[in-house]
Amino acid sequence: MILLAITPIPHFFMEDPGALIRQMDVPQEIVRFCDVHTYSAPHDDLRYIDCVYMHMGEYGNDPETLKKLRNEPFPLFE
C-alpha cells in the first residue's frame, strides 16, 4: 500500500498596482438565473461569479444573445 502525504499548497496574494477594482450593480434577472443554474452555489463561489460575469457581458459576449439564453427554456434531453 502506498500512502501519500498531502501537503497544503500555500496561497499567495500579490498586490497588483495596475488592477482595477469596481463595483457593479447586477440586475435581479441575472442574480435569479445564476442562483438557479449554479445550483444555489454561494455567491463567492467561482461558478457563481463566472455566471454573473458572463451574463453581465464582461467576457465580450453579445448582450442580446445572453438575454435570449436567460429567457428561453432549453431542453436537457431530446
Where the chain has pLDDT below 70, the residues are 1-16, 19, 21, 76, 78
pLDDT value at residue 12: 52
What is the amino acid identity at position 45? Answer: D
Are 51 and 43 contacting, i.e. CB atoms less than 8 angstroms apart? Answer: no
Q: How far apart (Å, rounded) are the C-alpha atoms in residues 65 and 20? A: 27
Cell numbers describing residue 12: 499567495
The predicted-structure confidence for 20-42, as pLDDT tens digits, reads as follows: 767 778 999 999 999 999 988 88
Helix axes 46-55, 63-71, angle to 10 degrees: 120
Residue 18 DSSP one-character state: T
Burial environment of residue 44 by CB neighbours within 10 A (0 to 12, 13 to 18, 19 or more): exposed
pLDDT at 15: 66
Q: Tell me the domain boundaries of the chain.
A: 28-71
Q: What is the pTM of this model?
A: 0.66
User: What pLDDT does 21 receive?
Assistant: 67
